[in-house]
Structure 1
Amino acid sequence: MSSVWLFDDDRLAELSEKTRQLSLRSAERIFIKSLYRFHQMLGRQREQFPVLNDVDEMLRWIDQWRQQLYEECEDMKNKDDIHTFAYVIKYVKANVSENIKSEDVADRIGMSRSYFSTRFREMTGETFHSFLIGQKLREAKRRIEEGTDSITMIASDLGYDHFHYFTKMFLKQYGCTPSEYRESKKCSK
């Protein structure tokens, strides 16, 4: 199992849906192996995997573990790659409305832009630009669901100067336009 789910909420959601189709014991074997690998990468001792009653309880525990990892990494910028990129992801999520550039993030963690871009892709399975767009579109979707701001305002707040481009990216990501999503709260993706 790749580590992409650690950094990507959508991939974790997809994996969670697939996992719900497995027996609890099969799901535990998959995730225990993956979690032990992360513990080795972090130089931690293996922690005891809790006794769980069903797959949904296991998935909630995994999400809590993931959030705990992000919290531990908040103040550690350069300890090692997994800590560094967990910090980057937390930073992007907290500042998604800002004009974030890979050069600025690389500088923030003490890496050259090219090395940062290479390592980010290796760690997450996607480019920093793709990750950033995904986070911006996720935030746009959340704000559309709230229904308090116009779609134009949301696009502008998230750094999209051209509404047409924002609509195109939203359609590509979710299978419907922002207006269609506001009306139905559903998309094909």
Structure 2
Amino acid sequence: MSSHHIVREKQEPALYIHQLGNFDEEFLGQLLEWSPTLIVAASEYEKVISLGLKVDVVFGNDENISTQENTKFIYSQTASLPTVVKYLISEKYPAVNIISQENKFDDLASFLQDINIVLFTDTDKSYAVKKDFSVWKQAGSIFKIDIVSYFETDNLKQEENGDFVVIKDGFVSFDFITEYLFLSEPLH
């Protein structure tokens, strides 16, 4: 058996490429490691297939796009993030990684009860966490926290620029009263 496993039972997060931009190809390779369902905005399709990738679903309004064999085309006025996330929820995906140029959850927060969403940009990984979340991090690791309400944390120190830095190797925990807290971490 080869070392490249094919997982197609929705155990892995789907990958939606909304805007590829200058996203690092090494990170892209890591997101593709377990052969997730690959969904692409029509505007990014040519760029994605030029990387030698097999696309499962294309979202957009250009019906004349020439797709790969066995690629499903879903007509949509816009390949907006909410449209694609609604599709993934209807298809029973538990999670999705999204590559975009913005890491804002403004249009996506209402879907978080139904699907786990991680947003990737060229520089950051952003995600929502639920109450009593904790994670092990090395000293010096950085979090950017979208402060929408009061929260408490341990093992973090806020810098003058607003970033939060892990003080010592170990767990960082977050306690807050809202449903979610939105965190970002630099990719590099």
TM value normalised by structure 2: 0.27
* Larger helix share, 1 or 2: 1
Per chain length, whose mean CA-contact separation is higher, i.e. which structure has more relative contact order (CA < 8 Å, sep 6+)? Answer: 2
* Larger strand share, 1 or 2: 2
